Amino acid sequence: MRVLLIDDHALFRIGLRELLERRGIDVIEAVGDCEAGMMLAAERQPDVILLDMRMPQMSGIEVLKTLRQHGLDMSIVMLTTSRDEKDVIESLRNGAQGYLLKDMEPDDLIRALENIVAGQSIVAQELTGVLARAVSGDSPEVEVDKASFFDDLTPREREILCHLAEGQSNKVIARHLGISDGTVKLHVKAILRKLDVSSRVKAAVMAVEQNLCARKEKE
C-alpha cells in the first residue's frame, strides 16, 4: 500500500509517517503544503491519500474537490479531529472513501486503510450515527422509495441491520446476539447485496431513512 499524507501539523505528520512505515506501509511523502500534495498525488499516484480537514491554505474539502476535478480516482481519506456532521457528509458526497478520526487506535487505522484499498467506504464507528441522522434529515436527492429493498431481508438480517445503524462492530453484534463473528459477517454481506449498497455505512443510512428500526421497536 502506497500512502500520501497531506497535513499541516508537522508533529502529527511526522509521527504518523513513522507509525505507518513501522507497519510496513510505503509512505511516498508526507507534506504540509496542499499545492505540493496535489502535485505529488498526480505524479506519484498513491493508493491512498490521507488528508487533513483544517489547513490554512485550503480546506481538506477543497483539496478533495480539486483532486476529483482533475480526474484523480485513488482512494482519499479524511483524517481529522472534526466530528461535524457537515464535514462528514460533504466529504463523502465529494468522493472521499473514508472519514477517520485522529484519535483512533493505530491497529484500527491500518485495518480501515486496508478495507478502503479493497474497495470499501469507511466512516469512524463513533460517527456512524451522526452520518445516519444527518443524511436522513438532509436528503432531498434521495427521494427514491427504498422501503421495498427491505422486503427481502430475513428477520435476523433486519435485526443485524439495526445494530449496524447504531454503529456497532461485527464483534459487538455477535456478542449481543450470541452468534459468531463469522455468522455476522455472512449476514452483513447478504444485507449489502440485498440492499444493493457497497458499505455498511450506506446500509445503516438506508435503515435510518426508512425508520426501519423505529418500526421494529413498535411491532
**pTM for the model:** 0.64
CATH topology of domain 135-218: Arc Repressor Mutant, subunit A (1.10.10)
Delimit the domains of the chain by residue range: 2-123, 135-218
Question: What is d(CA 63, CA 61) in angstroms, rounded to the nearest whole number?
Answer: 5
Give tens-digit pLDDT for 9-58: 999 999 999 999 999 999 999 999 999 999 999 999 999 999 999 888 88
Domain 2-123 has CATH 1.10.1060.10: no
Question: Does 147 have pLDDT greater than 70?
Answer: no
Rg of the Cα atoms in the chain: 18
Q: H or E segment at 138?
A: none
Q: In whole angstroms, how far apart are CA 45 and each of 19, 32, 65?
A: 21, 18, 16
First vs last Cα of the chain: how many Å apart?
A: 47
